Amino acid sequence: MREWLVTWFKAARAPFLVISFLPALLGGVVAAAHQPVHWGIFAACVIGVVMAHSAADFIDDYFDYKKGNLGNKAEQFHDSPLIDQKVTLNQVLIAIIICLAISLITGLYVFLQVGMPIVWMVLIGTFIVFFYTSPPVMLNYRGLGETAIFLAFGPMIITGVYIALTGRFDWEPLLVSLVPGIFTMVIVLVSNTFDFHDDVKSGKRTFAVRFGQPAAVRLMGISSVIAYLVIILGVVTKMIPVWTLLVLLTIPLALDTVRFTSHFDVETRYKAAMTRAITVSSIASILLLIAYGIVLLLK
């Protein structure tokens, strides 16, 4: 049983699920700072988002493996059990169906409670889940992977949960959502920068493949600066609470992420860079949660 749990823990990329779980929570907390929320809808949103994310990861591995683009990861951060056949493609397909079923059930519940305001968000999110790697669209193979990840893990989740709980659109959750969106995109940029040679062989047109690894590293740095400027400008213009400045505490980790990724020709730097990228994304979301928690306590 222990071996089975460990195997599927890896197959589901469980540590990565935090990058959807925390933004989903954040969308709910931002909504709660403005009005009382329906906790049943909130729970359904969080479960649906995480299950959709898990389905997307399974789909990603499924089609990457079929294209022979997983072998390089045996020495990197994500050592998928597909590589050594501890799980089969059919088992992964079943996992995809289960995750999608749970996500669709929770989505249906939210729709019945909220109505049309959430439909378009669900449709766009479903499109990204299905076609991030899978044919015929294959967003990640057509140079749209980084953009899709930014939208899915930032604006789509946070503003989607906010709209589901409040029934309206506001600029505040959209502004806040840019931070998790950018730092999640940075995680993908780290992965794609180190996966450059394998992605070239498999025809995956990532940003690093199209513009070069040094350009991908520069984009990481520029994007991180933008994330911090968004918070500063949001506070200055009083669009978001002053407590969100806590996010600036992650600056040293963000600098480390860029520094480690700049050594993309050294395979051993991959895990250090990816660990820091995930940490920045997670801590930034946690600090935003704390910021809005303080707002709730002071109400």
For residue 209, what pLDDT is reported? 92
151-187 as b/e, with b when 16 or more CB fall inside 10 Å?
bbbbbbbbbbbbbbbbeeeeebbbbbbbbbbbbbbbb
pTM for the model stands at 0.88
Contact 140, 209 (CB under 8 A): no
- Given phi > 0 = left and psi -120 to 50 = alpha, else beta, which region is 13? left
Tell me the average pLDDT across 231-236. Answer: 96
- In 3D space, the residue among 289, 235, 162, 34 whose CA is nearest the CA of residue 281 turns out to be 289
For residue 299, what pLDDT is reported? 76
- In 3D space, the residue among 57, 65, 61, 73 whose CA is nearest the CA of residue 20 turns out to be 57
Sorting pLDDT into bands at 50, 70 and 90, what band is 79?
A: low
Residue 296 to residues 77, 169, 268, Cα–Cα distance (Å): 38, 20, 43
For residue 242, what pLDDT is reported? 96
Q: Is 253 helix (H, G, I), strand (E, B) or coil?
A: helix
For residue 73, what pLDDT is reported? 53
- Lowest mean pLDDT: which of 54-58, 113-117, 189-193? 113-117
For residue 69, what pLDDT is reported? 63
For residue 137, what pLDDT is reported? 75
Higher-confidence residue of 117 and 239: namely 239
Q: Following DSSP, what letter does each residue of 156-170 receive, concatenated?
A: IHHHHHHHHHHSS--
Q: Which CATH architecture is the domain 2-294 placed in? A: Orthogonal Bundle (1.10)
What whole-number distance in Å separates Cα of residue 42 and Cα of residue 165?
7
Domain locations in the chain as residue ranges: 2-294
Sorting pLDDT into bands at 50, 70 and 90, what band is 131?
A: confident
- Lowest mean pLDDT: which of 10-19, 128-137, 212-221, 273-282? 128-137
Residue 164 to residues 104, 128, 159, 167, Cα–Cα distance (Å): 15, 19, 8, 6
- In 3D space, the residue among 218, 228, 226 whose CA is nearest the CA of residue 193 turns out to be 218
> In this model, does residue 295 exceed pLDDT 90?
yes
